[in-house]
Amino acid sequence: MQFSFQQGGWGASLADRLVRKCDVLNRGFSGYNTRWAKIILPRLIRKGSSLDIPVAVTIFFGANDSALKDENPKQHIPLEEYAANLKSMVQYLKSVDVPENRVILITPTPLCETAWEEQCIIQGCKLNRLNSVVGEYANACLQVAQDCGTDVLDLWTLMQDSQDFSSYLSDGLHLSPKGNEFLFSHLWPLIEKKVSSLPLLLPYWRDVAEAKPELSLLGDGDH
């Protein structure tokens, strides 16, 4: 998500948690769907040295793909193509040395139709999404994860375990501060498994050799 690095965003929370462990890169593009993402993915992640290989990649699509074709044909992607595009992205990542066990698929969040309809009316259009349809795309995402052997975070189901999930959404569709916190709290255990073995980048300041700091600072950073 493009906005995940805003104050309180889940991407910003990840970057903060992983400081001096690894860099967190935001490659979200507002309004994009899986058809467009599949096209640009090779521009975003390429085969490189072992130091350049991501330790984890999240793929978070479905909110735009699941837009109703009649009301929002530009963003809408048919369900079968959505699943195929997700699989294609996982396969591409594998081809550039990012295996399935480093990939985390994230389902779309549920849609609060009453709140989102208000936004649609303001924009001069009809309600262009339905939560039941979003659920079909969430289920497809779960199936792709199972077929491909990736981790998956089922936000669509988890958020609706709450009696009122609308507080997780700022406008019925996009994450609120509480929603960002919810996503991060459920994503972190999946990320932590993949980064737990990473060393701290450069030594703690008290551990730097006083007489010859270069002995501490010019090594590989884990001592």
* Domains in the chain: ranges and CATH: 10-218 (3.40.50.1110)
d(CA 103, CA 44): 15
Query: Quick one: pLDDT at residue 94?
Result: 97
Q: Are 31 and 64 a contacting pair, CB within 8 Å?
A: yes
The pLDDT tens digits along the chain (223 residues) read 656 877 778 999 999 999 988 999 899 899 999 999 999 999 999 988 766 789 999 999 999 999 999 999 999 999 999 999 999 999 999 999 999 999 999 999 999 999 999 999 999 999 999 999 999 999 999 999 999 999 999 999 999 997 789 999 999 999 999 999 999 999 999 999 999 888 888 888 888 988 889 988 886 544 3
Which of 75, 76, 37 lies closest to 57, judged by CA? 37
Which residue do the tokens 């551990």 mark?
Answer: 207
- Report if pTM > 0.85: yes
pLDDT at 220: 54
Contacts of 137 by beta carbon, 8 Å cutoff, 6+ apart: 62, 65, 66, 79, 82, 107, 108
Strand-pairing partners, residue 105, are: 59, 152
Cα distance between residue 31 and residue 217, in whole Å: 43
pLDDT score for 2 = 57
- Listed in order, strand segments (DSSP E) in the chain are 57-60, 103-106, 151-153
**pLDDT confidence of residue 223:** 39
User: Residue 178 — φ and ψ, nearest 5°?
Assistant: -65, -35
